[in-house]
Amino acid sequence: MKSSKWYAEPTSENEVILHLLKEVIYNGRSPFQKIEVIETGNYGKCLFLDGILQSAETDEFIYHEALVHPAMLLCEDPKRVFIGGGGEGATVREVVRYPVSEIVMVDLDEEVVRVCREFLPEWSNGAFDDPRVKVVYADARNYLSDAKEKFDVIILDLTHLVEGGPARLLYTEEFYRIVYNALTEKGVMVTQFYSLGISYLQLFASLVTTVNQVFSCVKPYVASIPSFFAPWGFVLAAKSTLLDEHSHKFQDRLAKVEKGLKFYDLDSHRSMFYLPKHIKEALVKGGDIIRDKGF
């Protein structure tokens, strides 16, 4: 082993990823979390919050396109979009591609947004300057509870569901009722989940079971993001129905945004929604409902 600087990311009690650390670009602490921008050997510039990788320069496009485009395209005619979290600005960057009228992004941590705009400007790529975008620094749950006007799409780009973690209350049945109420009749919501490594399938099943308590149409999906070291789970849900991806409408709307995209196209869409047998079986069995108090 040659001497070197490493960034140690413990992805579980049983595993640590050592990223070659080429440069510490930013290193600070907000009232909510430790914020670091690190140049790594394999993934270019990376944002770490409390030591967990959030986005990597080389492949954040996979994560953000996988999060945003299914919901935006399966929703028939989105005008008002809500983003919970999303501090890097890459989620909003994907949403501004659409002819929506308003995008409200609610992130707890102003400092994350400031750091990303300064040190990772390609992430938001100017989207924060779009006049349709409104950024609010607040708790997303409180904001949605109190929201007077409804949203067509709600995108939840949160830190991971970990027992006791800060975003835990944004993955509960009670929270999804708030989301449901904040959506228009044809509204669609999507949330990121976490690794679908074998040991996390049970928790994914719990999340899908939980969303199922509230929404009539629930579609879990998977995308593989190299810098996250795992197949990655998402859950999309609609109050009523979704556009069919075979429909002209879906494909016409896709054609209008597809040129700028790097990961997402119709093949990617299909690949993500065809789930492997072992994941389907875990979802059929289901899991405990995640509630505000204990789970």
Q: Is 147 in the site for a copy of itself (CB under 8 A)?
A: no
Q: Are the C-beta atoms of 172 and 292 separated by less than 8 Å?
A: yes
Q: Is 286 in the site for a copy of itself (CB under 8 A)?
A: no
Which one, 40 or 172, has the nearer CB to a copy of itself? 40
C-alpha 172: how far from its chain's center? Answer: 16
User: For residue 158, what is the DSSP state?
Assistant: -
CA-to-CA distance for 196 and 201, rounded, in angstroms?
6
Q: Are the C-beta atoms of 295 and 287 separated by less than 8 Å?
A: no
Which one, 27 or 101, has the nearer CB to a copy of itself? 27
Restricting to residues 167-226, which ones interact with a copy of itself according to CB under 8 A? Answer: 195-199, 222, 224, 226
Which one, 129 or 252, has the nearer CB to a copy of itself? 252
For 32, 40, 45, 111, 137, the CA distances from 29, given in Å and listed in that order, are 8, 20, 18, 8, 16
Contact characters 227-266, a copy of itself, x per CB under 8 A: x-xxx-----------------------------xxxxx-
Tell me whether residue 146 is one of the annotated catalytic residues: no
Closest CA to 189 of 271, 112, 78: 78
Q: Are the C-beta atoms of 61 and 69 separated by less than 8 Å?
A: no
In whole angstroms, the minimum distance from the beta carbon of 116 to a copy of itself comes to 19
In whole angstroms, the minimum distance from the beta carbon of 51 to a copy of itself comes to 2
Q: Is 277 in the site for a copy of itself (CB under 8 A)?
A: yes
Strand, helix or coil at 154? Answer: strand
Selected from 216, 247, 271, 292, the binder of a copy of itself by CB under 8 A is: 271
User: For residue 43, what is the DSSP state?
Assistant: T
Backbone angles phi, psi at 178, to 5 degrees: -60, -45
Contact characters 9-38, a copy of itself, x per CB under 8 A: xx-xxxxxxxxxx-xx--x----------x
Q: Of 157, 244, 265, 267, which is the active-site residue?
A: 157
Which one, 23 or 118, has the nearer CB to a copy of itself? 23
Restricting to residues 40-99, which ones interact with a copy of itself according to CB under 8 A? Answer: 40-42, 48, 50-52, 58-59, 61-62
- List helix spans (H) across 147-182: 173-182
For 170, 289, 291, 293, the CA distances from 174, given in Å and listed in that order, are 9, 10, 7, 10
Catalytic residues: 157
The residues binding a copy of itself (CB under 8 A) are 1-10, 12-21, 23-24, 27, 38, 40-42, 48, 50-52, 58-59, 61-62, 195-199, 222, 224, 226-227, 229-231, 261-265, 267-268, 270-272, 274-278, 280
